[in-house]
Amino acid sequence: MTSPTHKGAHHLGWRVGTPLVALASGVLFVVSAMSSQGTDLRPGRYTDLASLASEDAARLQRLQARVADLTDEVDTLGKQVNDTTVRKLQREADQLREPAGLTPRTGPGVTITLSDAPTSITDGVDTDKLQPYIVHQQDVQAVVNALWAGGASAVTIQGQRVVSTTGIKCSGSTIQLQGVPYPQPFVIEAVGDVPDLVTSIETDRWVSNYRDYADDPDYQLGWSLETSSHIEAPAYDGLRDFSYAKPLE
């Protein structure tokens, strides 16, 4: 038999404990809402790597647009500085904008598309043997190098301008440009003299090696080359800061 004292303490525990539990639940709800900032805390919507890469690429484009706006604002304010030394340095910097890829280029050129082998072939291949069936960093780099060798005045990958600091890194079925993943197919465009670009591509031994796999019915890597009278290469709008090592004193 429960004593009145014990029964009263039990009821008191419920009266005190229930509001505390409700309060704790409310706090957790608010913390979750603040942490997610309107997004899903369980990113189950990313059913494959390509979806995640596309989302990251879209986020990068939004950030790049913001960076471009701020850069234009800084340039405008800088030109308003009435100082002889500053104006001299600005003229020198303006002369370097085009070779540095900071101005857009348009003109005739070529579009080259690389892609992995079709799933009808890769579905029957063991995971550890898929390497010959997918596009790698060196394949993209070989095409870019051949285009530069053919006299290209501007090159883009997935619409992103390639400059001297552009890094191309293979990550599974995606490539990373400036640390941002892009899914295949990989579209490479170049502005320049079309016959020179095509000749350079057709005679480059590294590109020829890739094309052998593209022509082989056992692999069927994706390959296409199209010429155009109008190719647009936007200006590089990424970060311009450099990170480098310093010797210890």
What's the average model confidence in pLDDT over 72-80?
70
Q: What is the CA radius of gyration of the chain?
A: 28
What is the DSSP track for 4-22?
HHHHHHHHHHHHHHHHHHH
Give pLDDT, residue 168.
84
pTM of the model: 0.64
Write the DSSP symbol of residue 101.
T
Q: Which CATH architecture has domain 43-237?
A: 2-Layer Sandwich (3.30)
Domain ranges of the chain: 9-42, 43-237
- pLDDT tens-place string over residues 33-53: 444 444 443 344 344 556 666
Note the pLDDT tens digit of each residue in 180-215. Answer: 888 889 999 999 999 999 999 999 999 999 999 999
228's CB contacts (< 8 A; 6+ apart) are 108, 109, 110, 111
Task: For tokens 């579905």, name the residue.
Answer: 123
Of the chain, the end-to-end C-alpha distance in Å amounts to 81
Rounded to 10 degrees, the C-alpha dihedral 193/199/203/204 comes to 20
